[in-house]
Amino acid sequence: MSKPVVAIAYHSGYGHTKVVAEAVLAGIKEVDAVEGVLVPVEEVDAKWDVLDGASAIIFGVPIYMGNVSAAFQTFSEKTAKRWYEKKWQDKLAAGFVNSGAMNGDKHRGMEVLFGLSQQHGMVWVGLGLHPGNNTANASIEDLNRLGSFVGAYAQSNNDQGPDVAPPATDHRTAQHLGKRVAEAAVRWTKGA
Ligand SMILES: Cc1cc2nc3c(=O)[nH]c(=O)nc-3n(C[C@H](O)[C@H](O)[C@H](O)COP(=O)(O)O)c2cc1C
């Protein structure tokens, strides 16, 4: 029997969110019983079968002008055929968001990802971590340094390339999300 697939449907205009997607993939790969697949949304027309066959889809975006990037929104609208057929009903879903500012209105992007998942009748998996970096002795090295509950947040300094931004701490948080969703996919598909 083939392994359940956890797909990562993401957009990255300049490479920073791609690095986060790769960290999510590394987390999925920690779970042997699951296969992880990256799906850049620009390539989705050749990869609908991957998303349709996946047990879970993790959506990921950069924030552009306080919202998800236009490329992701285009992808989102293209999923309408799946919506009509309820093709993604009961798949697991999760999300990650990356922006230049510490806050940057990442929450709005995350709400868009959550809303897309709920349009499709998917079952959302949150981050499952307490906030880090929020006590007197805390550090930006803490897991979940940006303190989200709903999904993984990353922040990439505007003057740095994807080789150094977002910082390693955000990679670890993204990796945690990937592993968590992969473990959830194993439980979700048991006996299916
Ligand atoms: C058109 C545009 C709009 C942006 N708007 C925001 C914004 O509203 N808030 C923010 O924090 N960062 C904003 N940024 C910064 C990006 O979120 C940041 O550079 C991110 O790392 C880009 O990810 P990418 O390299 O995967 O495209 C914007 C960047 C661009 C290109």
pLDDT tens for 34-76 read: 999 999 999 999 999 999 999 999 999 999 999 999 999 999 9
- Using 50, 70 and 90 to split pLDDT, how confident is the model at 190? confident
Average pLDDT over residues 1-5: 89
Q: How many CB atoms lie within 10 A of CB 136?
A: 4
pLDDT of residue 22 exceeding 80, the answer is yes
At residue 183, the pLDDT reads: 98
3, pLDDT greater than 90: yes
Q: Is 15 close to ligand 1, i.e. is its CB under 6 Å away?
A: yes
Q: Which of 8, 12, 16, 64 to mutate to test the pocket of ligand 1 (most atoms within 8 A of CB)?
A: 64
Nearest protein Cα to ligand 1, atom 30: 64
- Residue 8 Cα to ligand 1 midpoint, Å, equals 20
Measuring CA to CA, how many Å separate 74 from each of 11, 33, 182? 11, 32, 27
User: pLDDT-based confidence at 192, cuts 50/70/90?
Assistant: low
Mean pLDDT in residue range 27-32: 98
pLDDT digits (tens, 9 = 90+) for 92-151: 999 999 999 999 999 999 999 999 999 999 999 999 999 999 999 999 999 999 999 999
**Amino acid residing at 72:** F
CATH code, domain carrying 161: 3.40.50.360
Whole-number pLDDT of residue 188: 95
**Using CA atoms, how far apart are residues 23 and 176, in angstroms rounded to an integer?**
9
pLDDT at 1 over 90: no
Task: Report the number of distinct structural domains present in the chain.
Answer: 1
For tokens 């993401």, what's the residue? 10
- Give 7's Cβ-side CA count (13 Å radius): 18
* Boundaries of domain holding 13: 5-189
SS (H, E, C) the chain: CCCCEEEEEECCCCCHHHHHHHHHHHHHHCCCCCEEEEEEHHHHHHCHHHHHHCCEEEEEEEEECCEECHHHHHHHHHCHHHHHHCCCCCCEEEEEEEECCCCCCHHHHHHHHHHHHHHCCCEECCCCCCCCCCCCCCCCCCCCCCCCCCCEEEECCCCCCCCCCCCHHHHHHHHHHHHHHHHHHHHHHCCC
The predicted structure's pLDDT at residue 158: 97
- Is the pLDDT at 20 greater than 90, yes or no? yes
Enter the ipTM. 0.99
- From the centroid of its chain, how far is CA 124? 11
